[in-house]
Chains A and B, each alone.
Chain A
Amino acid sequence: NAGVMQNPRHLVRRRGQEARLRCSPMKGHSHVYWYRQLPEEGLKFMVYLQKENIIDESGMPKERFSAEFPKEGPSILRIQQVVRGDSAAYFCASSPGLAGNEQFFGPGTRLTVL
């Protein structure tokens, strides 16, 4: 059973470009979470999604950031008009069934904004 997959593993963007980060949950998992780890800081929750629904987006910046988890395909975290402060490691996690279950993390996408 493959774990949580994220791609790309490394992404370089220039200021003003768009970044798209993909996450495929573990087989049988229907809940996806996104977290961000800024340099020298802890992991911060961004958003929690189930298929076709955003359940909790309390940690998402109000502008430029969006997330989706369509019926088919991976979850996408999209950052528009990236700025240097967006440089971070972005982790996706998945869990089965009900909220509050154990979360399993992917290897992360390291975004560098030049």
Chain B
Amino acid sequence: KQEVTQIPAALSVPEGENLVLNCSFTDSAIYNLQWFRQDPGKGLTSLLLIQSSQREQTSGRLNASLDKSSGRSTLYIAASQPGDSATYLCAVCNQAGTALIFGKGTTLSVSS
């Protein structure tokens, strides 16, 4: 059974810092991996999608990497801003492509 773990559970940083969020999964047979952002009481915003054949994806200040063989992904956020404060969720898509399995998230707080 696929399990997704995110470390740390919470993170507080001052504005301007570069930071790394970690995600690990137990079964390397995945279709793809998606990073999301969730603001309190709101839905999920898709940040990056990495196909199983890819190593990384970039969007603006965000960079996500995928090492499928070791079951790890990292989300790198450059020059953090208070507006980045949110919960970041990692989700792997099962090999059939039918379901996302989520980690519990990392709650990020960026202070000005």
Point out residues on A near B: beta carbons under 8 Å: 4, 33, 35, 41-45, 48, 55-56, 58-59, 91, 93, 98-108
Contacts and interface: CB of A to CB of B under 8 A. Distances in A.
15 contacts: A4-B43, A33-B99, A35-B102, A45-B99, A58-B99, A91-B44, A99-B31, A99-B97, A99-B98, A103-B34, A103-B46, A104-B46, A105-B43, A105-B45, A107-B43
Interface of B: 31-32, 34, 36, 42-46, 49, 89, 91, 93, 96-105
Which of B49, B102, B103 lies at the interface centre, i.e. has the most chain A CB atoms within 10 A of its CB?
Answer: B102
Nearest to A56: B98
Contact of A100 (B31, B43, B91, B102): B31
A93 B34 CA distance: 13
Contacts of A93: 44, 100
A55 B98 contact: yes
Q: Say whether chain B's binding surface is mostly helix, strand, loop, or mixed.
A: strand
A108 B44 CA distance: 9
A77 B31 CA distance: 26
A100 B97 contact: yes
A103 B100 contact: yes
Contacts of B96: 56, 99
Contacts of A100: 31-32, 93, 97
Contacts of B102: 35, 42-44
A56 to B, nearest CB: 4
B43 A45 contact: no
Pairs A-B, 10 closest by C-beta atoms: A100-B97, A99-B97, A56-B98, A105-B44, A45-B99, A107-B43, A100-B31, A43-B102, A42-B104, A102-B49
B61 to A, nearest CB: 20
A91 B32 CA distance: 20
B105 A42 contact: yes
A106 B43 contact: yes
Contacts of B49: 102
B46 A102 contact: yes
A33 B34 CA distance: 15
A108 B59 CA distance: 25
